[in-house]
Structure 1
Amino acid sequence: MHNISYTNGLHEVADNVFAYLQPDGGWGWSNAGLIASEWSSLLVDTLFDLKLTQNMLDSMSSVTSAHPINVLVNTHANGDHCYGNSLIGGDNGAQIITTNAAAAEMEAIPPSALEALMQIDLGEVTNSYIQDAFGSFEFCDVELPPPDRTFSGELQLDVGGRTVELIEVGPAHTSGDLLVYLPDAATVFCGDILFINGTPIIWDGPVSNWIDACDRILGLEAEIIIPGHGPLTDTAGVTAVRDYLTFVDKECRERHASGQTATEVIAEIDLGSFKEWSEWERIAVNVHSIFREIEEDETIQSPIELFRKMADLKNSGS
């Protein structure tokens, strides 16, 4: 693990197993993966736009020319893990597989929604924050072909004789998160269950599911752990993510019980060393998600309001 440098591009992490890394791992700069067998390959996730995805596919061509990609697995429905799907799935032939929940989310929140978010006047602070997060990407020509196969629970695939296990762990980060585990290489692709050196963001929750997902990763005893964002990691990295989530959950529940509002918790919570992680301001979303869970609030959260809260918090620097 430690000899894989965190540099942009394709890295062979085990025999015919590759991680495609995109530093710095911030908003939209996600990782993907490739599992090759004797006669075919499985792609783990695409990237945030068509240009980035095409660059990735080009970098993989020395492998995929002999081992063509015939399966694409999306770890969840966030665009930085699926907006390049049309280049490999749909009319281009690879079978797209994801969870039932992720498939529903892909349909409910199309790429046009993110493009629209970029165009709305939300005030200087929020617009600047959203532009910094997503301005490097092109969403106007993105179309999402629907997944060809969906599942709940677990699904075992045969990729040219290699067993690949898909393990649903959502709802956690999103409604339909999954892990991609390759037993013969002791390798797991974790999607956004793992942000390494960056702050996790709870779009869905419950947070307990995410903590359980970290425990599931640890239980696999994988030697190679590829996060959705950030450098390759080990059990210490998984534990750090779990510790962050456990800390925030405990703080929220104790402060809620003492009568504090979510806004007060966001202003007062002391993140300690966790504030050194990039995008620390995601605490605003995480507190709101946990408060909604405590209060059994099932109203739809406005992405605009969540981005406004993160932008204001980062701008205040508190």
Structure 2
Amino acid sequence: MDGRWVEVAEGVLVRRHTELDLNTGLVLGEQGCLVIDTRGDGVQGAELAAAVREVTPLPWRVVLTHAHFDHSFGASAFAPCEIWAHQRCGPALAAGAEADKKAWSEYYREQGRPEVAEAILAAEPVPPTHPVAERTELDLGGRVVELLPTEHGHTDHDLLVWLPEVSVVFTGDLVEQGAPPAFKGSWPLAWPAAVEQVLALKPSVVVPGHGEPVDRAFVREQLAELGRVAELCAEVSAGRLDRAAALRRSPYPEDFTADALQSVTNHSGHA
């Protein structure tokens, strides 16, 4: 079974997965538990469900931080249950699932892992049952979890999972540790504002979508880098800087910055 539990606060666990250095989460209440993200296919989702059941027999609800396959395609292993997500997550999942299946099954075949490729192709993404349009509280019994939708950042439907009692926030891929943020399909000009929303909570522990849990100092440093990328993208978009110069000046590797520039072009004229 891939993964190990790390307790970041009382009753708040992070499942650290070797595959893609992914994080999922588990929040324990007195009457129920909340599973945060579900991994990338039905097999991986079933592994996570079994790991949750080794910790607690409590009835579960699921929350998805965003629709990307590695965070959402395992939800069928938990169904039927409430699945909470940003109000734009359902449409994004419906629109992008087949492309994700194609791209990532090809990736895993190239990596010599056909069994993972087949599992992704066989995955049956489950639409969220509870769209979140504004700050929403989930009562797990003796513990309240807040779901906080953002506007645009890593996607146009990122959802923060905030536990004010213990000062822990799960950010999905709005924050990344161990690798640069993934800009493909993102909203680079707006991303810094979404991370400012994270910092405004003044969390003690920030759980990124991938990598080790971090503190506010790490997030502030990443915010500065994201701000620099946003500035470079804006300069290129306005014709004041050429693409090659932006790639040289970026705090991130060339291919990541190229994705950011392309995303700005793709979303030009949209919110």
TM range (shorter): 0.7 to 0.9
Determine the C-alpha separation between the residues in 2 that align with 1:179 and 1:75. Answer: 7
Query: Match of 2:197, SS?
Result: helix
Pick from 78, 82, 94: which aligns with 1:95?
82
Match of 1:270 among 224, 246, 249: 249
Q: CA deviation at 1:265?
A: 4.9
User: 2: distance between equivalents of 1:134 and 1:211?
Assistant: 36
Give 2:122's match in structure 1, choosing from 123, 136, 141. 141
Q: Which residue of 2 aligns with 1:283?
A: 257
SS of equivalent residue, structure 1 residue 233? coil
Q: State the match for 1:47 in structure 2.
A: 39
Q: CA deviation at 1:105?
A: 0.6
Q: Is the 8 A contact 1:177 1:193 kept in 2?
A: yes
**Separation in structure 2 between the aligned mates of residue 281 and residue 241 of structure 1, nearest angstrom:** 18
Distance verdict in 2 for CA 1:259–1:224, change over 3 Å: closer
Is 1:22 the counterpart of 2:17? The answer is yes
Structure-2 separation of matches of 1:214 and 1:22: 24
| Cα displacement string for residues 126-179 of structure 1 (whole angstroms, at most 9, x for unaligned residues) | x77983599655312210222111121221111123111100113211121010
Contact 2:83/2:130 (8 A) holds in 1: yes
Look up the match of 1:240: 221
The residue number in structure 2 matching 1:86 is 76
Q: Distance in 2 between matches of 1:181 and 1:57?
A: 22
- The amino acid of 1:210's aligned partner reads W
Call closer, same or farther: CA 1:271–1:54 in 2, change over 3 Å.
Answer: same
Matched, 1:13 2:8: yes
* CA shift in 2, pair 1:210/1:229, >3 Å: same
Task: Mark the structure with the bigger radius of gyration.
Answer: 1
Q: 1:62/1:297 Cα in 2 relative to 1: closer, same or farther (>3 Å)?
A: closer
How do 1:73-222 and structure 2 match up within 5 A?
73-89=63-79, 93-110=80-97, 112-117=98-103, 131-132=110-111, 136-137=116-117, 138-222=119-203
Residues 183 and 257 in structure 2, CA contact (< 8 A), matched pair in contact too: no
Instruction: Determine if the alignment matches structure 1 residue 34 to structure 2 residue 18.
Output: no
Q: What's the CA shift for 1:17?
A: 0.8
C-alpha offsets along residues 47-94 of structure 1, whole Å, 9 cap, x if unaligned?
A: 0122222222222223222x231x1000110011110000102xxx32
Q: Per the alignment, do residues 155 and 204 of structure 1 end up closer, same or farther by CA in structure 2, a change over 3 Å counting?
A: farther
CA–CA distance in structure 2, aligned partners of residues 129 and 88 of structure 1: 24
What is the RMSD of the two structures over their aligned residues, measured on CA atoms?
2.7
Instruction: Give 1:261 deviation, angstroms.
Output: 5.2
Q: CA deviation at 1:205?
A: 4.4
Q: CA deviation at 1:108?
A: 1.3
Paired position in structure 2 for 1:68: 59
Q: 1:284 is aligned with what amino acid?
A: A
Aligned length: 268
Q: Which amino acid aligns with 1:183?
A: P
Is the CA contact 1:265–1:287 (under 8 Å) kept in the aligned structure 2? no
Cα distance change on mapping 1:178 and 1:134 into 2, 3 Å: farther
> Is 2:155–2:187's contact at 8 Å kept on the other side of the alignment?
no
Question: In structure 1, how many angstroms separate the alpha carbons of the residues matched to 2:41 and 2:241?
Answer: 41
**For structure 1, which runs of at least 5 residues remain unmatched after alignment?**
1-6, 120-126, 299-318
Deviation per residue, 1:189-211 (Å, 9 max, x gap) = 11011111211123444334321
AA in 2 matched with 1:283 = T
TM-score (ref. length: structure 1):
0.75
Q: Percent identity over the alignment?
A: 26
TM-score, normalized by length of structure 2? Answer: 0.87
